[in-house]
Amino acid sequence: MTQNNKFYESVEEVAPGRTFLDSSELVINMGPQHPSTHGVLRVILKLDGEKVLGLDCVIGYLHRGVEKIAENRTWAQFNPYVDRLDYVAAVSNGLGYCLAVEKLLAVEVPKRAQYLRVILTELNRLASHQVWLGTHVLDIGAVTPLFYAFRDRELILEVFEKYCGARLTTHAFRIGGCRWDAYEGFAEEVRKTCDFIVPKIAEYGELITGNRIWVERTKGVGVLSGDDCKALGVTGPMLRGAGVRWDVRKAQPYSSYDDFEFDIPIGAAGDTFDRYMVRLEEMRQSIRIIRQAVDGLPEGPLMAKVPKMLKPPAGEVYQNIEAPKGELGYYVVSDGGPQPYRVRVRPPSFINLQALEKMVKGQLVADVVAVIGTLDIVLGEVDR
């Protein structure tokens, strides 16, 4: 009691005329070592009590100068570096880069390689969404789904490991096709993995969707309208959660995606809950694509004819793909030499993170944690 009084006295001394409860603005620092920031994101929050008045993101803690490194490696040597951008979806990153360089070289990848790429990329989308689900729900306070999601993701990582020897930074594809063919029993294992995961997705839903706490914490939280998304360049499940039916796989198909039947799930309200529903449905759609691709996997070569030393003709292309986080683009410029003249990565995490301020302004500080989770950012990609 006496301590309390003392405290009040000291506040009065520091700011005469203002009581503690009156001191309206408070600036707090969240991160870079904060478990719910999914890495090394630092958010400086300006609060009025529990209400967020504004924020500033401080990023770059993981900046490795990947775009500079690209200019000092050959075209093929740079390929493994892109895996380290969004390291929970390394396969997608590799696919985007390979497609960009192939476009520059005017190389058509053999059909078998295209299908293999689709299978692995969609498996990676599943794995990435499982990481998102586990950590996002954990942030909000449910511990159990994390273990379930990571347990199931393990099966996918095992497929990667058998295919290319790596679980996380896979470097699965090469410019011109795939380095490895499907290993023996690949199709059966992928089918089995899909059969295993489908009921698990329903299980995640049973655990989370109807949960009162989950609904209260996500419905109407972090609302971003479709027009806001477009204006801010926000793509991926964030855009679809706001009701815009747009997916690069449908809009600008690449790597034979137009061969497969799948739906683009959309939300309506553009809040955290809708984005959660969209991502869950996307996992089911990914499984649909994987099954079709495994069934229709054609025979044939894996690599197009590409020279040993790649020297794409001078020019530039922009190639985008639908990464698990959104539109991942590579703007590559060649001057005709053996090294890229410029490689620009359009990172979906970086651009989606920009929407954070708009999404949490005026909401409660606890919602910041929920919104960072729903943004599904990977700091390796934000900082590059």
Partner 1 sequence: MADAPEEKKLEQTETKPETSSAPGAPEAASAAPATALAPAAPAAAAPALPTPPAPKPAAKPWECELTQRLKHVYGSGLRDAAEYVGQKYIAVDGSIAHEVLRILHDDEGYDMLSDLTCVHWPKDERPFEVVWILYCFAKNTYVRVKARYAEGEEAPTATNLWPGANWMEREVFDMFGLRFAGHPDLRRILLPEDWQGHPLRKDYDIRQQDNEWVRKNLGIESGQ
Letters for 250-279 (x = contact with partner 1 by CB under 8 A, - = none) are -xx---------------------------
Residue 141: CB minimum distance to partner 1, A: 30
Q: Which of 13, 22, 184, 261 binds partner 1 (CB under 8 A)?
A: 184
Q: Which of 152, 322, 327, 381 binds partner 1 (CB under 8 A)?
A: 327
Element (H, E) at 157: helix 144-164
Letters for 192-231 (x = contact with partner 1 by CB under 8 A, - = none) are -----------------------------------x--xx
List binders of partner 1 among 17-76 (CB under 8 A).
Answer: 59-60, 63, 65, 67-69, 71-72, 76
Distant-in-sequence, close-in-space partners of 49: CB < 8 Å, separation ≥ 6? 24, 26
CA-to-CA dists, residue 303 to 79, 230, 306, angstroms: 16, 37, 8
Q: Kindly state whether residue 244 participates in binding partner 1, applying the rule CB under 8 A.
A: yes
Q: Kindly state whether residue 176 participates in binding partner 1, applying the rule CB under 8 A.
A: yes
- Cβ proximity to partner 1, 78 vs 273, nearer residue: 78
Calculated CA dihedral for residues 221, 223, 229, 235, nearest 10 degrees = 30
Q: Which of 79, 93, 218, 334 binds partner 1 (CB under 8 A)?
A: 79
Structure-token pair, residue 360: 């949490």
Q: Kindly state whether residue 93 participates in binding partner 1, applying the rule CB under 8 A.
A: no
Distant-in-sequence, close-in-space partners of 126: CB < 8 Å, separation ≥ 6? 153, 156, 197, 283, 286, 287
Q: CA angle, corner 69, sides to 67 and 72, nearest 5?
A: 120
Residue 84: CB minimum distance to partner 1, A: 8
Q: Kindly state whether residue 329 participates in binding partner 1, applying the rule CB under 8 A.
A: yes
- Cβ proximity to partner 1, 35 vs 300, nearer residue: 300
Task: Tell me the residue ranges of DSSP E strands in the chain.
Answer: 25-30, 42-48, 51-58, 173-174, 177-178, 315-323, 326-334, 342-346
Beta bridge partners of 330: 319, 345
- Cβ proximity to partner 1, 140 vs 302, nearer residue: 302
Q: Which of 35, 313, 337, 362 binds partner 1 (CB under 8 A)?
A: 313
- Range in contact with partner 1 (rule: CB under 8 A) among 43-51, 139-147, 246-254, 282-290: 246-254
187 burial via Cβ count (<10 Å: 0-12, 13-18, 19+): middle
Distant-in-sequence, close-in-space partners of 15: CB < 8 Å, separation ≥ 6? 23
